[in-house]
């Protein structure tokens, strides 16, 4: 008889149930079984649980993908990890042989398998991952800090596309955990001013603590006028963390500026005249998942250069996963952590 474990299973149409399910087992020689220490809730989980969903996940899937844990079993051909190693995981397992993988773009793999969406994820006591997507971390790094690895790795992939220099101006649209990480990284790059747009009062306060020079509520103030007043010509870079703010970013950047699209909202639809991009030479850049950026993320986390502990607003047991997703969706939390054994 299979061993059992507890897990938060997505049943479709906004329903998440805590169930006893089979514990994952080794099925391929490069498989690794990880005992989950903690797994943080992502905005993607919020979109999956929305009705209608802003991101589609397969019913019957265990949600969660921003995890840290300890290796408890390895397949016969695993060479880089051993039982007892602590790891963070890239939740997007890539094939390694398709045309995009051959172009060193595994984040765009034609056969990618996303954890917590199509494959069972980290809101569980154990999870199975491939060796190639598991990255070792220091035994001394607290689990709640290590849990930032996946969002930070995705962020670094985006930052690598915008060469921010000291005194460059930046607008960050959205102050959830990703927006706040962007704010801290932009501060470390020497950007000034950093303007953060966020409607939720609590998150605006966090943005100030993370180094934003100016914080604005776009629901009560005119963001375009505010940016023009603070910069004279518009920001050098605008970063859409929300997934629906491209037009706002286009209007906020200066001529020759760049708009980085990070957030994903499958329900967002935009309509505007293309000449606003053409005759101002605006660059629109998409960034998707992590691409060879986990080692950088781990190094940053282990260095302690970011102030992450204050961003942790909730630590919840597995049984309160749905409640945590609701908290994040309402803008009442920043980093919401789920502990399978709390």
Catalytic annotation, residues: 44, 47
- Cα distance between residue 266 and residue 261, in whole Å: 13
> Which residue is listed with tokens 């993370």?
210
Residue 336 per-residue DSSP state: E
Cis link prior to 193 (omega < 30° from 0)? yes
The C-alpha atoms of residue 186 and residue 241 are separated, in whole angstroms, by 14
Q: Is the distance from CB of 265 to CB of 243 less than 8 angstroms?
A: yes
Half-sphere exposure of 32 (CA within 13 A, CB side): 28
Closest CA to 62 of 102, 28, 34: 34
How far is residue 291's CA from residue 289's CA, in Å, rounded to a whole number? Answer: 7
What single string gives the DSSP state of each residue in 63-117?
A: P--EEEEEEEEE-TT--S--TT-EEEE-SEE--S-SHHHHTT-GGG-TT-EEBTT
């Amino acid at each position: 008889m299979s061993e059992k474990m507890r897990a938060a299973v997505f049943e479709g149409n906004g329903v998440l149930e805590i169930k006893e399910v089979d514990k994952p087992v080794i099925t391929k020689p490069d498989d690794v079984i990880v005992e989950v220490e903690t797994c943080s809730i992502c905005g993607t989980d919020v979109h999956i649980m929305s009705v209608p969903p802003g991101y589609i996940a397969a019913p019957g899937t265990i949600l969660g993908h921003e995890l840290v844990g300890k290796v408890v079993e390895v397949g016969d051909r695993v060479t880089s990890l051993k039982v007892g190693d602590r790891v963070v995981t890239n939740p997007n397992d890539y094939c390694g042989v398709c045309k995009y993988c051959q172009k060193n773009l595994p984040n765009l793999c034609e056969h990618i398998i996303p954890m917590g969406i199509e494959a069972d994820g980290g809101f569980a006591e154990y999870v199975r991952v491939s060796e190639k997507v598991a990255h070792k971390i220091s035994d001394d790094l607290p689990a709640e800090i290590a849990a930032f690895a996946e969002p930070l790795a995705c962020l670094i992939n985006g930052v690598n596309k915008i060469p921010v220099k000291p005194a460059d101006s930046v607008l960050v649209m959205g102050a959830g955990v990703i927006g706040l990480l962007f704010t801290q990284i932009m501060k470390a790059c020497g950007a000034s001013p950093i303007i953060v747009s966020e409607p939720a009062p609590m998150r605006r306060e966090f943005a100030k603590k993370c180094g934003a020079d100016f914080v604005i509520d776009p629901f009560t103030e005119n963001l375009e006028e505010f940016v023009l007043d603070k910069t004279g010509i518009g920001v050098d870079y605008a970063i859409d963390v929300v997934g629906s703010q491209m037009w706002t970013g286009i209007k906020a950047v200066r001529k020759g500026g760049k708009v980085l699209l990070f957030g994903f909202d499958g329900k967002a639809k935009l309509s505007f005249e293309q000449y606003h991009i053409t005759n101002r030479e605006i660059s629109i850049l998409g960034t998707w998942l992590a691409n060879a950026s986990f080692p950088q993320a781990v190094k940053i986390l282990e260095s302690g250069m970011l102030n992450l502990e204050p961003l942790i607003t909730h630590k919840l047991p597995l049984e309160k996963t749905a409640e945590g997703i609701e908290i994040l969706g309402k803008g009442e939390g920043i980093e919401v952590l789920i502990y399978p054994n709390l």
